[in-house]
Amino acid sequence: MIHLFLAQVVSATPTPTATIPATAVAAVASCGILTKIAVSLLLGAAGQGARAIVGLKKTSDEAKAKNTSFATQFDAGQLLVSLLIGAIAGLFAALAMWTKMGNLESRETLLALVAAGYAGADFIEGFMRNEAKP
C-alpha cells in the first residue's frame, strides 16, 4: 500500500513536462524492495504458523495424556523460533523467485511464499537437528 501511495505522489507532477527527481524514483524503488521483503517474511511466518497449529494440538493432547496443563507443556520460545525460521524460509523463497514476484498481485506467488514457510521450516529444522547430533 505504501509503495502505491508513493508512486502516485511521485507521478503527480505539476506540469506534464516536469521530470521526476531521481531521488523520488529511488525512494519508490527501495520501498518496493522493502515491501517484497516484508511480505515474504510475513507470509513465510504465516505458513509456519499453519504448521505450528498442528504442533500446538499435539502439545495439548500430550498435556491431557499426562494429566497436566497445557501451559506446563507449551514452550513459547520454541514457537517463536519456529515462526522466525518460517519467516526466513519465506525470505529465501522470495530471493529465489525475485524477478517473478512482480508487484505481489499474483495469488500463486503469495501461496508459494506461504508454502515455503510451511515446508522450508521443516527443511531448516531438520538440517539443524542433523547438525546438532554428534
pLDDT digits (tens, 9 = 90+) for 55-87: 899 989 988 999 998 888 888 898 998 899 999
Where do runs of H (alpha helix) occur along 12-75?
A: 22-65, 70-73
In the chain, where are the structural domains located? 39-132
List Cβ neighbours of 38 (8 Å cut-off, separation of 6 or more): none
> What percentage of the chain's residues is helix, strand, coil (to nearest 5)?
80, 0, 20
pLDDT exceeds 90 at position 5: no
Whether 4 shows a pLDDT value over 80: the answer reads no
Distance CA 115, CA 109 (A): 10
16: helix, strand or coil:
coil
Q: Which of 4-8, 30-34, 39-43 has the lowest mean pLDDT?
A: 4-8
The amino acid present at 132, given as its one-letter code, is: A
* Per-residue pLDDT band at 3 (split at 50, 70, 90): very low
C-alpha to C-alpha distance for 43 and 129, rounded to whole angstroms: 24
Q: Distance of CA 58 to CAs 36, 53, 65, Å?
A: 33, 9, 10
Distance CA 52, CA 124 (A): 15
3-state SS, residue 74: coil
pLDDT for res 2: 45
Interatomic CA distance for residues 93 and 21, integer angstroms: 33
pTM above 0.85, yes or no: no
pLDDT higher at 107 or 6: 107
Q: Is the pLDDT of residue 20 over 70?
A: no
| Whether pLDDT at 46 is above 90 | yes
Confidence of residue 8 (pLDDT cuts 50, 70, 90): very low
